[in-house]
């Protein structure tokens, strides 16, 4: 696998950093590209509005091991008409990612599809995406689809059933994995000790998801949508894996199709205090590709062409959203009237649970990185100096490493290197890189029109610096106090758009009833425990969780894949009374 990764990296470099190449170009080496086969595991396939859908995406190779290639995965919930309920972007770590979605009361009762994929897996002819059918019941809106189009009554699909017992029918092999609890029956709020036993050693090693949930008294008589194959609109190009982070792609088009679109510089910014700034060069067809591996938490982005004749070009961002070939065949699953009392009781419990719900804890990530130039620049914190009303005065009195000059009838910024004051050399005619809140500024007047009091700091690196495909004579990096610089968007060479950031990694919070602070709080959870990433590499593991105030039969499910790619699902039931 390591040799394959190295080969792919070299191949990507050979295609000038492209994120996509034509099928003809990779025909001779097609077998070198390992497939990515995404798999989804969820906490349940039946939810009521107000509950939470938990999911885990496991990105596998054909050998069954987790894929080391893609670093970004995508999970989407859609209705039968392919209307998107949510699109989640997630960072893959060791081929694993997970997320949670709160089911809002705005969703209708119906059949939904949870889809998971990577950009690389969409190249597959077979199994390009993972799919799970999810049934959602909205107890606050009356169902209106109890009849077919010919006015014949539909058979009830969801009906009440109180047949849940301690017997479990294994639908998937457990490969020897055993789930054992310290008791078969528990009192409300009591501690439950679970032991996961793996008597088969390395044959049971793998990545698993642990879910503990009450068995809903709902019988699904017909799996609507389960027998309907899902089709995606195939892409024309072969997409490379997102090896370091998400890939933003687009193209530069010449106005009236006149002008060369090759080797044009494109600058991308996610503005703010911890900004992201990237540059790229177009290929012979005008396409560009930007890899974003830095963390960010804002949606607003800006991209522009960094060329003297930029007004002659237009920049277009590719839309790489997953598109399905829709089949409007499934509608709302008919509800049996026998569900009314249970739905009413459960809806009240959900409202109380959400009123006292403890927010999941966001895990500490890697944090935001330093500017791309690191600590090379000298930072001038303007509040530490005498404040001047204009930037020109500020650069004369405070900013000793840069200056403002007139050049060809226009004011420009220049860096001043005290170790080379003459600024002679092969790069002496170049301009510095000007950034304002992380946004490339190509006209000095866009900065000079601001009052000096609006700026908090100015960082200057006074020497030649190469960033991406372009060389600059220094860097001047401005930061405003409000971080709200808004450039002019006039012209087709600049475009503002939204980019959804990857979900933050969160740890699910569950009550610990050994803590007396929970004694006076109601607990109507039916999802007692959820641990999306269990790496089993031992013969035994232990977990502890607590029962709630909701009596009933609960099922423990350990589901995932062994290191050989075998699907495993082990179950254990117990009673809370």
Give one DSSP letter per residue of 480-526, joined into a string.
ESS--------STTEEEEE-PPPPPPEEPP---TTSGGGTTS----S
Q: Convert the pLDDT of each residue in 307-347 to its tens digit.
A: 999 999 999 999 888 888 765 555 567 788 888 899 999 99
Q: Which residues of 470-500 are buried (b: 16+ CB within 10 A; e: fewer)?
A: eebbbbbbbbbeeeebebeeeebbbbeeebe
pLDDT for the residue 532: 94
Q: Is the predicted pLDDT of residue 68 greater than 60, yes or no?
A: yes
pLDDT at residue 105 tops 70: yes
For residue 485, pLDDT over 70 is answered with yes
Determine the pLDDT at residue 153.
44
Instruction: Tell me the pTM.
Output: 0.88
pLDDT of 188 over the 70 cut:
yes
% of residues, the chain, pLDDT over 70: 83
Mean pLDDT of all residues in 395-410:
93
Q: How confident is the model at residue 446 (pLDDT cuts 50, 70, 90)?
A: very high
CB 250 within 8 A of CB 315: yes
Average pLDDT over residues 151-180: 65
Q: Is the pLDDT of residue 507 over 90?
A: no
Task: Please check the confidence at residue 3 and state whether its pLDDT lies above 80.
Answer: no
Least confident of 99-113, 211-225, 457-471: 211-225
Across residues 440-456, what is the average pLDDT?
A: 94
Cα–Cα nearest to 188, from 161, 164, 168, 214: 214
Instruction: Tell me the C-alpha distance between 46 and 501, whole Å.
Output: 28
Model confidence at 376: pLDDT above 60? yes
Per-residue model confidence (pLDDT) at position 152: 42
Task: Please give the pLDDT value at position 15.
Answer: 46
Give pLDDT, residue 154.
46
Q: Stretch 255-280: mean pLDDT, rounded?
A: 91
* Average pLDDT along the chain: 85
């Amino acid at each position: 696998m390591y040799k394959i990764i190295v080969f792919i990296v070299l191949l990507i470099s050979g295609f000038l950093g492209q994120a996509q190449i034509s099928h003809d170009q990779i025909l001779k080496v097609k077998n070198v590209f390992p497939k990515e086969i995404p798999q989804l595991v969820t906490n349940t396939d039946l939810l009521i509005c107000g509950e939470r859908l938990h999911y885990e995406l496991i990105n596998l190779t054909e050998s069954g091991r987790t894929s080391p290639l893609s670093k970004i995965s995508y999970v989407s919930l859609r209705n039968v008409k392919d209307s998107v309920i949510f699109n989640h972007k997630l960072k893959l770590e060791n081929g694993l990612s997970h997320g949670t979605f709160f089911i809002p009361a705005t969703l209708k009762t119906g059949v939904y599809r949870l889809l998971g994929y990577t950009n690389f897996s969409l190249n597959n002819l077979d199994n390009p995406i993972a799919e799970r059918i999810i049934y959602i019941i909205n107890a606050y809106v009356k169902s209106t689809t109890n009849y077919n189009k010919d006015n014949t009554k539909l058979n009830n699909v969801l009906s009440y059933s109180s047949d849940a017992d301690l017997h479990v029918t294994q639908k998937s092999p457990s490969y020897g994995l055993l789930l054992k609890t310290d008791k078969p029956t528990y009192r409300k709020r009591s501690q439950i000790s679970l032991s996961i036993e793996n008597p088969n050693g390395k044959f049971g090693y793998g990545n698993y998801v642990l879910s503990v949930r009450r068995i809903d008294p709902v019988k699904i008589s017909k799996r609507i949508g389960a027998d309907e194959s899902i089709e995606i609109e195939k892409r024309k190009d072969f997409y490379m894996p997102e090896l370091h982070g998400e890939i933003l792609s687009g193209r530069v088009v010449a106005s009236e199709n006149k002008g060369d679109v090759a080797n044009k510089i494109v600058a991308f910014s996610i503005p703010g205090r911890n900004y992201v700034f990237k540059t790229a060069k177009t290929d012979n067809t005008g396409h560009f590709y930007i890899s974003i591996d830095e963390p960010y938490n804002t949606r607003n982005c800006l991209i522009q062409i960094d060329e003297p004749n930029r007004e002659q070009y237009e920049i277009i961002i590719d839309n790489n959203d997953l598109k399905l070939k829709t089949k409007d065949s499934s509608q709302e699953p008919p509800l049996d009237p026998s569900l009314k009392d249970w739905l009413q009781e459960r809806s009240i419990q959900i409202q109380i649970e959400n009123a006292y719900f403890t927010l999941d804890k966001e895990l500490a990530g890697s944090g935001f990185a330093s500017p791309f130039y690191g600590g090379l620049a000298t930072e001038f914190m303007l509040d530490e100096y005498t404040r001047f009303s204009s930037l020109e005065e500020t650069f004369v009195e405070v900013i000793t490493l840069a200056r403002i000059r007139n050049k060809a009838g226009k004011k420009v910024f220049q860096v001043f290197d005290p170790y080379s004051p003459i600024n002679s050399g092969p790069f002496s005619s170049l301009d510095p890189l000007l950034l304002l809140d992380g946004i490339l500024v190509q006209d000095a007047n866009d900065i000079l029109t601001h009052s000096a009091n609006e700026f908090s700091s100015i960082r200057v690196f006074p020497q030649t610096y190469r960033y991406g495909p372009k060389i600059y004579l220094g860097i001047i990096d401005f930061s405003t106090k409000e971080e709200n610089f808004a450039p002019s968007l006039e012209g087709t060479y600049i475009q503002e758009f939204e980019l959804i950031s990857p979900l933050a990694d969160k740890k699910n919070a569950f009550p610990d009833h050994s803590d007396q602070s929970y004694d006076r709080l109601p607990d109507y959870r039916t999802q007692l425990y959820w641990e999306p990433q269990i790496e089993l590499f031992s013969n035994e593991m232990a977990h502890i969780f607590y029962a709630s105030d909701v009596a009933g039969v609960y099922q423990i499910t350990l589901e995932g894949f062994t290191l050989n790619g075998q699907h495993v699902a082990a179950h254990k039931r117990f009673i809370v009374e």
